[in-house]
Amino acid sequence: MTGRPIIRMVFSLAANTLAAAWRAVGPVTSPVARLGRLAALRARAGTAVPASTQFDGPVRVGEGVLRLSLGAACRLGRDVYLETSEGGRIELGSRVRLNSGVFVVSYARVRIGDNCLIGERVSIRDADHGSAPGTPMRDQPHVSAPITIGDDVWIGCGAVILKGVTIGSGAIIGAGSVVTKDVPPMGIAVGAPARVVRVRGEPGGGS
């Protein structure tokens, strides 16, 4: 085998090798794209965003000023959505991982501690519409209360965290759960509405 068939075979092998590598490690954001996203987020937040912030893809931001503070080495997934309205503020500790499609919307304050893992499509909102009869709900003012999430919390895919909730450090929230009440430190909460089924570290509670 000589000439063009050999060239085609070499290119085919190279393409297959690159495709396998791409599947293994996934897309890698270029330094230029990362710096662009970093600059854009800094401009919208109006405050310092650490250079150690990582991006898996574009981050979406609501209208108006984004009142955001980030600790070191946070990682923001593709299509994460961040919004602050009225007096709202979003505060992320260090090494927080927001996976793809996470929504964080604040009218009061959302605080997420260090080393937290937030799964895909989680919704964290510290406000909802008023619901008094006689006026369309879309025309009523928002009712808000701060959300506090401690350190080392894992929130599973598709969970919903509602206003006024405190989730203690070390807690786990199961996928698809709707958290309407406080979860104690190290608690494992599942369901809609979520309830604590075990406590990590206790007999039968998991590690």
Query: Which residues are catalytic, by number?
Result: 129
Q: Tell me which residue of 168, 41, 31 sits closest to 98, measured CA to CA.
A: 41
> Max CA-CA distance within the chain?
83
Q: Can you say whether the dihedral through the CA atoms of 26, 31, 36, 41 is positive or negative?
A: positive
CA 16, chain centre distance (Å)? 34
Dihedral angle computed from the Cα positions of residues 105, 69, 87 and 158, in that order, rounded to the nearest 10 degrees? 10
| Cis bond before residue 58 (omega within 30° of 0) | no
Q: Tell me which residue of 59, 22, 19, 56 sits closest to 39, measured CA to CA.
A: 59
